[in-house]
Amino acid sequence: MSPNRNQDDRLTGTSYFHWEYRMRMTLAKKGLQHHILKSSVGKSWDRNSPEWIKDDLKALGLIALSVEAIHQVHIREATPAHAFQMEAGTTLT
């Protein structure tokens, strides 16, 4: 996470709705959105390829750095980013 990034962009106990949208847009901008979607339309991904693994770690890093430390326990065990599913209505508490 960039040091210039606003602390309000981080996920807190009450900001999931806005955080989830910003995170989807951040991952889409970096071409990593397929790592958190349940299904990727139009393309089959080899989740064992070196490129997938590298990009998956990038996606997971972006997610982890955008969450307050107190909530990181919820994603710590999600080694691949695709194991951390962002779904509307899901809460971290």
Counts for the chain of helices (H) and strands (E), in that order: 2, 0
Q: Which residues of the chain have pLDDT under 50?
A: 1-4, 91-93
In a domain, 50, yes or no: yes
pLDDT number for residue 26: 94
Q: DSSP letter at 21? A: H
Predicted local distance difference test score (pLDDT) of residue 83: 66
- Is 20 inside any structural domain? yes
Q: Does some domain include residue 55?
A: yes
Q: CB of 86 within 8 A of CB of 20?
A: yes
Q: Determine, yes or no, domain membership for 60.
A: yes
Write out the residue range of the structural domain in which residue 28 sits: 7-39+46-83
In a domain, 73, yes or no: yes
Task: Give how many domains the chain has, as a whole number.
Answer: 1
Report yes or no on 65 lying in a domain.
Answer: yes
The pLDDT score that the predictor gives to residue 82 is: 65
Tell whether 18 is covered by a domain: yes
